[in-house]
Amino acid sequence: MNIYDEMKAREMVEQTTNEERIRKLLGGEKVSFYIGYDATADSLHVGHFVQLSIMRMLQKASHHPIVLIGGGTTKVGDPTGKTDMRALMDNEEIDYNVERFRVQIAKFLDIDENKTTFVNNDDWLSKLNYIDFIREYGVHFSINRMLTAEAFKTRMERGLSFFELNYMIMQSYDFLHLFRNNNCLMQLGGNDQWSNIISGVDLIRRMEKKEAYGMTFKLLTTRDGVKMGKTAGGAVWLDREKTSPYEFYQYWRNIADSSVTDCMKLLTEISLEEIAEIDKFDGEQLNREKERLAFMLTSLIHSEADATEAQQTSRALFKGNTVGEGMPATELLSSDINELDILAILVKCGLTSSRGEGRRLVEQGGISIDENKIDDIGFMIDKDFIGDGIIIRKGKKVFHRLTVV
């Protein structure tokens, strides 16, 4: 099957600039393509997962991924999807994040230099003379057209700075630079990047009188359109120090039944024929497939040993056995424990984001300690109660160990 046809069958593709030509390129030639990642954090998260999977998929089909890590564009910050301007980051923090991204992305790809190219756009953006840059490239961008882009429209009421307006021009120049220097014919990205991608395609057409191509992919969402990759404790990160392998496993183990086959299509190499059969499952059969999905993804991001430990811990907990070293845990200093109520404990453990959320959970019977349901929002906990450790359960499937040191 043409790799483009497979991506379509897996419902990955959202928009293309020239579908017929892209299909032909991906079906018959070795094509260099790029995906960009701004280094705004020290770890990638589940929201990046689809693009990482697509890079891997295209590389296995003999195409050449160029991984652009935006050390330069991070200094401005993409306004897409943001209600306020991003906080400005210093160079040292950005450089650290760039290296962390390289390590994580390398798990997905064959990083032989002949098979993958890593670039940092700070290498060329930081050397540009602003006046020369705007004279040569800025003249090709219409402010009126830019302001119709979704990335900017959502910011007009709150205010959009001229600083941020440069982001689209910089990303478009990235594509032009890679077109000229790396024979890069395609830019890929999440569907929220469509405006930036087509601006790069247009700049290449204007400057080089040649055609380049853009394609966007489905964002990882539930069937109700809600973005996946968030928990009560925040984003699901690929860094084990931010989201433990157990938490990562549990996230996928606990996804909605309706999301299982969608995630298999987007994130795994399970055949479409097999996925079609799985789509008919329910109950215990579907739960086994959730375990399989969680194991596969945890093995990919962390290791098979981590996935095995997480799976064993999860199974033990589901059977009522509170043994398991892999579960997420919080350690509190004994000096910090002077009879905290259950609502404060839930916030400190990251199980809820606020006391109000904790209150609702307790009142709805959603909190247990060592299998004993807590129904009093004023329930007090001290270091003697915690002893050698307690296990807090939120709902049916979220477990957390609390100890005092």
Which of 169, 189, 217 terminates a domain? The answer is 217
- Annotated active-site residue 302? The verdict is no
Told to judge if 231 belongs to the known catalytic residues of this protein, a careful annotator would answer yes
Percent of the chain with pLDDT over 90: 48
- Exposure string over 348-361, b if 16+ CB within 10 A, otherwise e: ebebbeeeeebeeb
Q: Are both 266 and 153 inside the same structural domain?
A: no
For residue 87, tell me if it sits in a domain: yes
Catalytic residue among 171, 193, 243, 313: 171
* 82 has catalytic annotation: yes
Q: Indicate which CATH number applies to the domain containing 253.
A: 1.10.240.10
Average pLDDT of the chain is 87
Q: What is the mean pLDDT of residues 291-320?
A: 87
Query: Do both 149 and 294 map to the same domain?
Result: no
Q: Please report which helix (H) or strand (E) contains residue 346, including its range.
A: helix 342-348
Q: Is residue 223 part of a domain?
A: no
- Whether 383 is catalytic is no
CB distance 325 to 299 below 8 Å = no
Judge if 31 and 149 occupy the same domain.
yes
Q: Any catalytic annotation for residue 80?
A: no
- Residues 273-301 have a mean pLDDT of 94
Quick check: 401 and 328 in contact, CB under 8 A? yes
Final residue of a structural domain among 167, 187, 217? 217
Question: What is the domain range of residue 48?
Answer: 3-217
Catalytic pick among 60, 115, 227, 396: 227
What local confidence, expressed as pLDDT, does residue 24 receive?
95
**For range 93-113, the mean pLDDT:** 92
Among the candidates 256, 284, 318, a domain finishes at: 318
Residue 225 lies in a domain: no
Residue 117 known to be catalytic: no
Taking alpha carbons only, the member of 131, 139, 39, 136 closest to residue 91 is: 39
Q: Residue 22 and residue 16: Cα distance in Å, rounded?
A: 8
Selecting among 192, 239, 279, 341, the annotated active-site residue is: 192
pLDDT value for 335: 76
Q: How many independent structural domains does the chain possess? A: 3
CATH number at 397 reads 3.10.290.10
pLDDT per position as a tens digit, 29-64: 899 999 999 998 999 999 898 999 999 999 999 999
Same domain as 368, residue 252? no
Q: Is position 371 within any domain?
A: yes
**Per-residue pLDDT band at 209 (split at 50, 70, 90):** very high
pTM equals 0.77
What length is written for the chain?
Answer: 405
Choose the catalytic residue: 82, 102, 240, 242. 82
> Are residues 235 and 374 located together in one domain of the fold?
no
List 8, 23, 102, 230, catalytic entry:
230
Share of the chain above pLDDT 70, in %: 91
Q: Which of 40, 308, 312, 403 is catalytic?
A: 40
Give the per-residue pLDDT at 146. 75
Mind listing the pLDDT tens digit for each residue in 363-385? 888 898 876 788 888 888 887 77
| Domain shared by 287 and 348, yes or no | no
Residues 171 and 193 in one domain: yes
Q: Is residue 176 in some structural domain?
A: yes
At 301, is the pLDDT very low, low, confident or very high (cuts 50, 70, 90)? very high
Q: Which residues pair with 391 in a beta bridge?
A: 401
What pLDDT is attached to residue 395?
Answer: 83
Q: Are residues 57 and 189 in the same domain?
A: yes
Does the pLDDT of residue 214 top 80, yes or no? yes
Same domain, 363 and 290: no
pLDDT score of 148 more than 90: no
Whether residue 224 lies inside any domain: the answer is no
User: One of 117, 222, 231, 268 is an active-site residue; which one?
Assistant: 231
Q: What CATH number is attached to the domain comprising 39?
A: 3.40.50.620
**Is 40 in the active site?**
yes
Residue identified by tokens 């040191």 is 405
Q: Are residues 14 and 155 in the same domain?
A: yes
How confident is the model over 326-371, as pLDDT tens digits?
Answer: 678 888 887 777 778 899 999 988 899 889 999 999 988 889 887 6
Which of 118-127, 149-158, 233-242, 286-295 bottoms out in mean pLDDT, i.e. has the lowest? Answer: 149-158
Catalytic annotation on 382? Answer: no
Q: Is the pLDDT of residue 268 over 90?
A: yes
Q: What is the mean pLDDT of residues 214-220?
A: 92
The answer to whether residue 159 scores a pLDDT higher than 80 is no
12 and 134 fall within a common domain: yes
Mean pLDDT to the nearest integer, 297-316: 90
The pLDDT, as a whole number, for residue 323 is 47
Residue 250 domain flag: yes
| pLDDT for 257 beyond 80 | yes
Question: Hey, what are 100's tokens?
Answer: 């962390």
Least confident piece of the model among 77-81, 91-95, 399-403: 77-81
C-beta separation of 277 from 264 below 8 A: no
Whether residue 176 sits in one domain with residue 237: no
Catalytic position from the list 8, 86, 140, 240: 86
Q: In this structure, is residue 386 part of a structural domain?
A: yes
CA distance 215 to 198: 9
Catalytic residue, from 10, 48, 265, 290: name it: 48
